[in-house]
Amino acid sequence: MNVLITGGAGYIGAHACKALKAAGYTPITFDNLSTGWRDAVRFGPFEEGDLLDRARLDEVFATHQPVAVMHFAALSQVGESMQDPGRYWRENVMGALNLIEATVAAGCRHFVFSSTCATYGDQDQVTLTEDTPQQPINAYGGSKLAIEGMLRDFSARHDLETVIFRYFNVAGADPEAEVGEFHQPETHLIPLMLDAIDGKRPALTIFGTDYDTPDGTCIRDYVHVMDLVDAHVLGLKWLQADKGSRVFNLGTGSGFSVREVVDASRAVTNRDVPMTLGERRPGDCTKLVSGSARAIEDLGWSPERSTLNQMIADAWRWHQGKGYSR
């Protein structure tokens, strides 16, 4: 059973390919390598291409005839989306429209979409559920919300069933260290922190220390990447069992501040974290914490590795031997 994985050369996509292979599927990676890595494609065939190239998409669908699509490919930096919103609307939304239309044209009925908690916006002191009003405050969240709307519209008109996952901060790495998190430039807290610990950058910058939180730094809900991709396999099986379209949050219900993550890293690595303090970044929310009861109850999902120490330990193991080359 072939599954088309857009963004399969990226952080989450590569882990999804490994999980799908272990579950008996053949992941077909479709990636333009703008941010992904050819070396991360280890679990199935690779097709280089861009989502804005509809003819290339049609060719790949015809060649591999996938039974489902998992769509991970997207621009995902909040700050960049505030500075260049047009790029996010063009590449994320128009690319997704091409992909959805190609999926329908090929007669592929099942579509799993990687959405985000950024669609909820800044809603402090609220545990976010799938029914929480969506009020994105940046172009990244806005583009993902637009794609959710497209999927609902296409599902209403065509024989297309969808699972939408809105997830929170993804962290950690493959425990066997075959694939991991490696961006250039790096923008995510834990790998930036590990770079600072390891002397690969002068210091970790904490952006904003005046948030309305106990220690002044913003709070996020972290989920282990392996738990996250396990949910995607369960979502695919949900669709194949004809249970219908569904939206799921993926988080743990527990939030950690930036300073708490730094403190945990000291305990895991037994090293100090060089730090500098910076101003808040435009578009950053104060607190984002998920309620994931629906995924736990309906999918039977269990985020077993999503403790802060485990995520940092797995990321540290990958980090010490990390590296991809294009």
Catalytic residue among 140, 167, 211, 222: 140
Residue 202 CA to residue 100 CA, distance in Å, equals 43
Residue 311 CA to residue 323 CA, distance in Å, equals 19
- Out of 1-10, 227-236, 277-286, 290-299, pick the least confident: 277-286
Q: What is the pLDDT of residue 196?
A: 93
Q: What is the pLDDT of residues 124-151, one digit of tens each?
A: 667 889 999 999 989 999 999 999 999 9
Tokens of 259: 């300073």
Average pLDDT over residues 117-122: 88
Catalytic site includes residue 324? no
Q: How confident is the model at residue 323 (pLDDT cuts 50, 70, 90)?
A: low
Residues 6+ apart with CB under 8 A from 254: 221, 289
Q: What is the pLDDT of residue 126?
A: 77
pLDDT over 90 (residue 165): yes
Q: What is the pLDDT of residue 4?
A: 98
Calculate what percentage of the chain has a pLDDT beyond 90.
Answer: 81
Q: How confident is the model at residue 102 (pLDDT cuts 50, 70, 90)?
A: very high
- Are the CB atoms for 51 and 7 separated by under 8 Å? no
Q: What is the pLDDT of residue 77?
A: 82
Q: Answer left, alpha or beta for residue 256, where phi above 0 means left and psi between -120 and 50 means alpha.
A: beta
Residues 6+ apart with CB under 8 A from 258: 189, 206, 217, 218
Q: What is the pLDDT of residue 322?
A: 65
Q: What is the pLDDT of residues 53-87, one digit of tens each?
A: 999 999 999 999 999 999 999 998 887 888 899 99
pLDDT over 60 (residue 97): yes
- pTM, two decimals, is 0.93
Q: What is the mean pLDDT of the chain?
A: 93
Full DSSP string of 47-102 = EE--TT-HHHHHHHHHHH--SEEEE------HHHHHH-HHHHIIIIIIHHHHHHHH
pLDDT over 80 (residue 26): yes
- Is the N-terminal amide bond of 136 cis, ω within 30° of 0? no
**End-to-end Cα separation, the chain, in angstroms:** 28
Q: What is the pLDDT of residue 326?
A: 45
Q: What is the pLDDT of residues 274-319, one digit of tens each?
A: 999 999 987 677 888 887 899 999 999 999 999 999 999 999 999 8
Domains and CATH numbers, the chain: 2-171+221-250 (3.40.50.720), 189-220+253-320 (3.90.25.10)
Residue 194 CA to residue 314 CA, distance in Å, equals 12
